[in-house]
Amino acid sequence: MSGLSIAPYLTFARMKVVDHQPHLDVDQPATLVRLEPDRRCQPICHECGAPGQVHSHGLRRFIRDLNFGPAQTFLQVEYRRVWCPACRHARVERLDFADPGKRITHRLARFVYDLCKVMTVQDVARHFDLDPKTVKAVDKHFLQQEYGPTDGQGLRLLAIDEIAIRKGHRYMTVVLDYETGRVVWMGEGRSTDTLDAFFAELSENQKEAIKAVAMDMWEPYINRVRHYCPHAKIVFDLFHVVKAFGDVIDAVRREEVRKARTQDSYRYIKGSRYLLLKNRKNLTPDQRVRLCELLDANERLNAVYALKDQLKMIYHYRRRGWAKRALNQWCELAKELDHPKMRRFIKRLRFFAYGILNHCDYAIGTSPLEGVNNKIKVLKRKAYGFHDPNYFALKVKQALPGSDSTT
């Protein structure tokens, strides 16, 4: 009789292997392993873990385990009901290798979770021939344990921005630890209620430790940060300020298109939108030549383009007095370009001047978060979207844990 046995690979507490039946199907090999309670061990209650007395026998269920090579492994588990003196009720005995009601073992669930770090749910489901809902539930369970609670330790500088998750202006708010690059929190929407949910998970000491927050000029974000962290400096990001001024540039360009007297001038100015909005360093040599010709030919476009470059220079100052003087000078120069959009932009810029000047104290912005958002979009496309926002947030926190060292 052969001495070979699979029992060493199935060392489950209080259970013993009594039989196994391989099914060597060409398309899908499998093996069925039968387990029975080890009568030398006293059963314990699965609710409280207290030892109890056997109440009844004969219960049976099938549990999926890790594959043996190419063969799927199924455990036929015979277990008992236990009279628990602590619960004063008959309970199913505890199986250390699987939870009651679950159809896969703990070690298979852990392996599924590890694979989900580098593969999609659909790929893992096909690999193990499992239901995708089962794979997702396993992955979400472990993610919730590891990344569910918001870790607010060490937060000093934050960046807050939104990311579109689907069409129809559906957004999620992303909170980033600016110093480590860690995604601290994600939540649905971009309203005051969204940030209420974030700050509700932080302690008073953690809120007090936050020194500055980078964001765009979005009132709900500003309102909540001022409410929960009144001492923190709000810093408006350069990219969003320049992007808002891009609307002014485009409005002036459209007005110049309407004023064009010849067909050639009309076409030349009409096709120049992205020449004016792109950063000069990102232009190709041919685009630079065309931009110079356009600015030489149109005085108003030349003026508004120069104002864009000067607006960026305000963020280079490190002393508030100099930055404030530069901002006031910029607003006076911009007034000379008489346009309704420009007047509204100047009014808005003066209203939010404090957030621009705060950049002198904390030279931070949302540019690291823009890079993070690109990675989040890749994660979303890889999975063909996520219907469960909470699961999506957990996957993002897992994929972007940040670095241990501060920058």
Q: What string of DSSP letters covers 25-47?
A: -SSS-EEEEEEEE-TTS--BBTT
* 187 & 90 share domain: no
* 341 & 242 share domain: yes
Classify residue 31: in a domain, yes or no: yes
Classify residue 165: in a domain, yes or no: yes
* 248 & 343 share domain: yes
Classify residue 372: in a domain, yes or no: no
* 331 & 253 share domain: yes
* 259 & 271 share domain: yes
Q: How many domains are contained in the chain?
A: 3
| Spatial distance between the Cα atoms of 309 and 290, rounded to a whole number of angstroms | 18
pLDDT digit of tens for each residue in the chain (407 aa)? 456 677 777 778 788 888 888 876 767 888 888 888 888 888 877 778 778 787 777 778 889 999 888 889 999 888 888 888 888 888 887 788 888 778 899 999 999 999 999 999 999 999 999 999 999 999 999 999 999 999 999 999 999 999 888 776 788 999 999 999 999 999 999 999 999 999 999 999 999 999 999 999 999 999 999 999 999 999 999 999 999 999 999 999 988 888 877 777 777 788 888 888 888 888 899 988 988 988 888 889 999 999 999 999 999 999 999 999 999 999 999 999 889 999 999 999 999 999 999 999 999 988 888 888 888 888 888 777 788 889 999 999 999 998 864 44
User: In which domain, by residue range, is 49 found?
Assistant: 7-103
User: What are the CA-CA distances from residue 299 to residues 271, 272, 343, 346, 368 (Å)?
Assistant: 17, 15, 19, 20, 36
Sheet holding 182-188, edge to edge: 182-188, 170-177, 157-166, 212-215, 233-236
Classify residue 109: in a domain, yes or no: no
* 306 & 271 share domain: yes
Classify residue 299: in a domain, yes or no: yes
What are the beta bridge partners of residue 45? Answer: 93
Classify residue 232: in a domain, yes or no: yes
Of 236, 253, 280, the last residue of a domain is 236
DSSP strand pairing (15-23 vs 30-37): antiparallel
**Model pTM score:** 0.83
* 254 & 297 share domain: yes
The domain that holds 175 is classified in CATH as 3.30.420.10
Of 62, 81, 103, the last residue of a domain is 103
- pLDDT value, residue 26: 62
* 96 & 176 share domain: no
* 246 & 330 share domain: yes
* 305 & 350 share domain: yes
| Spatial distance between the Cα atoms of 383 and 168, rounded to a whole number of angstroms | 20
Classify residue 213: in a domain, yes or no: yes
What tokens does 390 get?
């909470």
Of 70, 103, 136, the last residue of a domain is 103
* 218 & 264 share domain: no
